[in-house]
Amino acid sequence: MSGGVALAFGEAAPDREAEEAHNVFRAMSAQLVVNLAGALAVWLLFEATVPSSSLQPWLTVFAALWLLRLGSLFAFRRAVTVAATGGRRWRGIWVVGTLLSAALWGSGAWLFHPYIDSSRHGVLVIIGYTLCIAGIPILVNRPLVFLLFPVLFFGPIVARVATSGRSDSFGEAFVLLLVFVLTTVLVRQFRQSLLRAIDLQRQTDQLLRELRIEKSSAEAARGAAEAANRAKTQFFVAASHDLRQPLHAMGLLAGALRQKNLDVESAHLVGSINESVDALEGLFSQLLDVTRLDSGVIEAQPQHFGLNELYRKLRLRFEPLAFEKGLSLRFRGAAHHVWADPLLVERIVHNLVSNAIRYTGDGTVLIGCRRRGDRLLLQVWDTGPGIDECEQGRVFDELYQVPNELRADSPHRRGLGLGLSIVRRLAALMGAPITLHSRKGHGSVFTLELPVGQAQSEREPPLLPPAKPHVGLTLKGRQFILVEDDPDVSSELGSMLTGWGAEVVVLIGEASCAAWLAANPAAASPDLLLVGHSMESGGSGIDIIVSLRKHFGEVTPAIVVGDNALPIREIQAQHSRVHLILKPVVPVKLRALIGFKLGEAVH
């Protein structure tokens, strides 16, 4: 038996004594009612057979004891609190009253036995047994008191019957003794059951306390983890911004160097710098995507949209890269509409097409869509090296890269193995299955399964015909407005655009832009606006574009140079003719995007 149980049923602690006092006095009302009913039964049954000299004194003593116990009950209820010492005193009062009541009933059996027959004698035994049974729940915690109670009651009866001199007196005494023994065994069994129940209750309470502690610890740990996730996200966003700035400047300087007459070795070095900057830009984007996915800030916002606009953006982004590698970039199924989050779908397809162009050395990259029942299969096909069947189950795992024959120092190998894992997680956010089919040496096809959408009322612009951008694009005679809050970046980017032949108005920050507009109200409309997204003043590049377009016209082409992909949804939601290019800006990509924007203005 545990120490706690021993304390509960042995020497009671002060607070336990007070609790027991409350328990026994709460049950005293029922005891008094049972005792009073038994006394009335004795008076009604024995009045005619028991002499008044024996019955009346017994009833008088019973009434006095009963009233004293009733008075103690009222006194206890009037007490506001029961302290430790008070609990022991009140429990002692109850014990004395209970034992005196048992002794009174035992004495009555001794006094009345000579004057009553066997049937009335049985009634008296039944009354005593009822009192014993009724007292089990109350007396079980005090085994010594409960043992004295039946002894005081049955002892005189057994002794009186055994010494009565009747022929069956010993048999009747044996039966009474057997009743006493059975009652004691019953109490013992009840007490053991109660001990087990209390022990189980104590264990349950302990488990509940531990569970509450564990729950509190888990909630604290979850809160700490969420705070760490938020801090990590903020850190990556801040670090991305701080690191993109020097990389952006490095890319612009490399682009400026590329315009010089360099020898073969120097030109190769400049090309390697551009490739490294491009690879770092991809790593930053992937790390930010993973961070935002881990922190739970990305939520799917499905809507009906057409693939035509998605294809336009993909062509704008990837056709120059495909052209540089000599690949054919094709689009099929632009007339379909899907029900999904357009930003997440664009990011998924962007990653797939980027991988396809990166690993395809010759041939075609096809982005197509076809209907299968109530679903649409949005697919990216390539004629690249393909993926072994044994590797296909792992390509979507985080940080996993498929072994290939490319040299270890090739820029194609510069990555973390995050692109396809991001694709899988973004698809899971929309509940869209994504699958891979590939044959080694024949290419691969990734399939994203999406619900069929509905066409919107607004007429969508037609898909631009394939263009043939030229790497040596000249901007002679073109007028640009460049707004950037970093003077170094503004100078380097302005010099590079000037080197390409453009006439550039360089404005440092939002205030400088507003002052220039005020000073040049009759300025000619520029061919392109090139604006940084975040300004040190707290303003947004979108606000600057809105201000410039109010002055020059709503259809003025614009490019936003952003630190990360977060502004994409805002830009696309408000300005369909604004496109985003991420820092660090690779000159060849910027040059290709400018070419497409100028061509778009013509269309």
Can you list the domains of the chain with their CATH numbers? 16-164 (no CATH), 303-401+417-451 (3.30.565.10), 479-601 (3.40.50.2300)
The residue whose two tokens read 């881990």 is: 294
Residue with the larger pLDDT of the pair 14 and 537: 537
Average pLDDT of the segment spanning 395-408: 60
Q: What local confidence, expressed as pLDDT, does residue 583 receive?
A: 72
Does residue 555 carry a pLDDT above 60? yes
Can you tell me the mean pLDDT for 553-578? 65
The mean per-residue pLDDT over the stretch 536-543 comes to 76
pLDDT at 471 over 50: no
Neighbouring residues of 256: CB distance < 8 A, sequence distance ≥ 6 = 492, 495, 496, 499
Give the pLDDT confidence of 196-218 residue by residue, as tens digits.
Answer: 877 788 888 889 989 999 988 88
Beginning with the edge strand found earlier in the chain, give each strand of the sheet holding 328-331 in spatial order: 328-331, 364-372, 375-382, 443-451, 434-439
- pLDDT score of 4: 37
| Beta carbons of 359 and 441 less than 8 angstroms apart | no
| Mean pLDDT, residues 217-225 | 86
Element spanning 304, H or E: strand 303-306
| pLDDT confidence tier of residue 468, bands split at 50, 70 and 90 | very low
CB 368 within 8 A of CB 381: yes
Return the percentage of the chain with pLDDT > 90, whole number.
Answer: 10
Distance CA 91, CA 128 (A): 23
pLDDT at 477: 84
pLDDT bucket at 379, cuts 50 / 70 / 90 = very high
Buried b / exposed e along 447-485 (16+ C-beta atoms within 10 A): bbbbeebeeeeeebeeeeeebebeeeeebeebebbbbbb
* CB proximity list for 3: less than 8 A, separation 6 or greater: none
Q: pLDDT confidence of 5, banded at 50, 70, 90?
A: very low
